[in-house]
Chain A
């Protein structure tokens, strides 16, 4: 912590020696109860100066592992039998265990060992399927650390290059408010994301959704994120940017939907002299940015370029506003594909717009005919 800035103490190369120790300790405890491992790693490891780092790494490692219950009798059944027997008969403990064990056909010792074998601390540590290297463990711990801060955030501000669309979509799906504005020279898009309620109070209500944005960002060419967090009742800023040692999430799905994927495939097959560019540069319009789904580019002829957007749910006003937005940005080479089944009103669409209705599948042939005819 420095002033009102939260400075995360990311794990780095200097931490690798004790991370290696931690992984070795884990291996040593394979087959033993989880609580024994927990107890061991609750003591500082050699060379680990900051215990909170060790706790974090141990927590992340535990999340990667899957401790399994192993017992002669399923523990739930063991409990039902033993405790039922104990309530029925006023006899010493050994007699009760013995007769309960006889009823399920195991030894009393095996039955007793089964009683709580499924409790979190009693489960047996299992070998990791794919043991992480100290470096991977450090990066994973850093991701958890950063997400932990974001969970205490009420709003984030992001400057980013590429992949902006996935972030906007995530925000919209989670009911967050996303204000997008362009910032010349510095990056492609600047956006501010916060929830409706953040207007009234610094609320942690959206922390989970805001934290989920971080893995999406690791697939940007470049990003800078600043979050307003509350920690111990005080407001602080948290910054993270591309280049920070954070575990990258798995690559986001290339296409938002099967619909779009199918269109791209169909179009490529039908129009071999056109390139399909997925998620082209956003278009500046009316103080905000709009994100077309595709750019269709005639190979060898830069002047023949179309933008295409596939719209699911729509109203005539929505389509009109969308077109007005594109017109304001002086873009006329636009195709809107609208779902014929999901309009909420059959009002008239703007007559001059290049609108293609679709049902379940965007007709790539129709798109090819239209753009060939128009140019």
Chain B
């Protein structure tokens, strides 16, 4: 219990993403508090602030707590209309004491849900988004529901407002100074966190209310547990299959199996053989070894480097085979009047298709202004097709495309769910068409099988 040495209490301040506790006596039993000999004070990560303050309170130690310094949020939000499933998700989040992850498919209005959370709680809010493109989009959308400026960290901008949007990268860099300025933390595409990479961005914030959004949450293991600790449990979940036909457009997925030419086949088999010789030797030595361990071992020898080079060449070969090239030509011609998105495995293929068919490539090399211009013209119908490797994968608001041609992709289920989601914004009488170009008897077969798993419904059908 409290002794006289704590009569004047302890001081809690925010210091570079941590809570610093200056105490006249030894503190025991407060969670997450560590003694920092460098500054002769106790310290806890900022996200434990609430727990630390509560524990000190239970010990009867008075606290001079100046940790939180939230910006004053405006109260005049416009009414945010929600669909029933969005309302259910928001309610579930509120019931979980404003901590939790909502899993909704791309195109189902996750940003809208986030805005409803900001408007409903009226808290100073920091939104984290993965890319600069999404930064723009969030700021634009938030601005339609509330007067006043929206803050922005990322893409060269550093403006701080009660509602601020930041890229993951900027959040990681600036959280040591921003961490105590917000009471609500919203994280878009939250599945990027939980694996240790940049998790500090979430740990250095004092925000007690947290909302994570994703279409593809980690299901098991350390990442899922870590996410639950830092953001909260999954409070609501729907998949594409649950919303198709109602809130998402129905779609047909057509897989086209396109064989290699004889020449390509010979080359592919040769490359794979060269790769396998080294890879299976590694497998025998380290049956549990990961891919990155293999790469580290391989780069040390000439033979290993040649194997890796063969692997890369094989992938490049599959990215745009002769028959894929022909299929793209046929499909683009067949759907000349549709709005078409072409997804490729790499930028090289995207440019090759752009050159050949004169359709706009949307890649990371294209500047922001031009990218916005392109999307604007696509929206207005002045452009009918886009080709992209990665840029279109996540969240980018592409209106009303109705045909997708997936020429290649190696990132698995998560990427596929995101890409298919681009097509599913509903329209009257709309039925989306997804072509998947797969090369049989190559590593693509496995990849295609893996990526389709993410589309199945989460909610059991009614009995």
- List A residues at the B interface (Cβ < 8 Å): 51-52, 76, 79-80, 82-88, 90, 93, 96-97, 115-116, 119-120, 175, 177, 179, 192, 194-197, 199-201, 203, 205, 232
Q: Which of B15, B354, B358, B359 contacts A196 (CB 8 A)?
A: B15
CA distance in complex: A177, B370 (Å): 43
- List B residues at the A interface (Cβ < 8 Å): 15-18, 20, 34, 36, 38-39, 43, 45, 172, 176-177, 200, 203-204, 296, 299, 305, 336, 351, 354-360, 365, 367, 370, 373, 377, 382-385
Q: Are B355 and A115 in contact (CB under 8 A)?
A: yes
Q: Are A76 and B382 in contact (CB under 8 A)?
A: no
CA distance in complex: A83, B370 (Å): 13
CA distance in complex: A84, B377 (Å): 9
A196 CB contacts on chain B under 8 angstroms: 15-18, 20, 36, 43, 176
- In the complex, 30 of the A-B residue pairs with CB atoms within 8 angstroms, ordered by the A residue number, are A51-B305, A80-B370, A80-B373, A84-B383, A85-B358, A86-B357, A87-B359, A87-B382, A87-B385, A88-B382, A93-B356, A93-B357, A96-B358, A97-B358, A115-B355, A116-B351, A116-B354, A119-B351, A175-B177, A177-B39, A196-B15, A196-B20, A196-B176, A197-B17, A197-B204, A200-B45, A201-B200, A203-B200, A205-B172, A205-B200
Q: Which of B15, B45, B177, B370 contacts A79 (CB 8 A)?
A: B370
Closest Cβ of chain B: how far from A182's Cβ, in Å? 17
Instruction: Determine the residue in chain B with the shortest Cβ distance to A155.
Output: B38
Q: Are B16 and A84 in contact (CB under 8 A)?
A: no
Closest Cβ of chain B: how far from A85's Cβ, in Å? 8
SS class of chain B's interface: helix, strand, loop or mixed?
Answer: mixed
Instruction: Determine the residue in chain A with the shortest Cβ distance to B44.
Output: A200
CA distance in complex: A203, B336 (Å): 52
Q: Which of B17, B39, B299, B383 contacts A83 (CB 8 A)?
A: B383
A52 CB contacts on chain B under 8 angstroms: 299
CA distance in complex: A40, B359 (Å): 30
CA distance in complex: A267, B4 (Å): 53
Going nearest first, the 5 A-B pairs with the smallest beta carbon separation are: A86-B358, A196-B16, A83-B360, A175-B16, A196-B18
* Residue of B34, B356, B367, B383 most packed against chain A (CB within 10 A): B383
Q: Are A197 and B200 in contact (CB under 8 A)?
A: yes
CA distance in complex: A87, B382 (Å): 7
Q: Are B43 and A199 in contact (CB under 8 A)?
A: yes
CA distance in complex: A6, B360 (Å): 47
CA distance in complex: A197, B47 (Å): 12
Closest Cβ of chain B: how far from A175's Cβ, in Å? 5
Q: Are A197 and B45 in contact (CB under 8 A)?
A: yes
B15 CB contacts on chain A under 8 angstroms: 196
A76 CB contacts on chain B under 8 angstroms: 367, 370
Q: Are A199 and B34 in contact (CB under 8 A)?
A: yes
* Residue of B20, B43, B358, B365 most packed against chain A (CB within 10 A): B358
Q: Are A232 and B383 in contact (CB under 8 A)?
A: no
Closest Cβ of chain B: how far from A98's Cβ, in Å? 12
A203 CB contacts on chain B under 8 angstroms: 200
CA distance in complex: A87, B387 (Å): 13
Q: Are A199 and B36 in contact (CB under 8 A)?
A: yes
Closest Cβ of chain A: how far from B127's Cβ, in Å? 21
Known: A80-B373, A93-B358, A200-B45. A87 touches B18 (CB 8 A): no
A177 CB contacts on chain B under 8 angstroms: 38-39
CA distance in complex: A192, B38 (Å): 9
CA distance in complex: A205, B176 (Å): 10
A88 CB contacts on chain B under 8 angstroms: 382
CA distance in complex: A51, B36 (Å): 43
Closest Cβ of chain B: how far from A122's Cβ, in Å? 9
B16 CB contacts on chain A under 8 angstroms: 175, 195-197
B377 CB contacts on chain A under 8 angstroms: 84
* Residue of A86, A90, A97, A197 most packed against chain B (CB within 10 A): A197
Instruction: Determine the residue in chain A with the shortest Cβ distance to B363.
Output: A119
A116 CB contacts on chain B under 8 angstroms: 351, 354-355
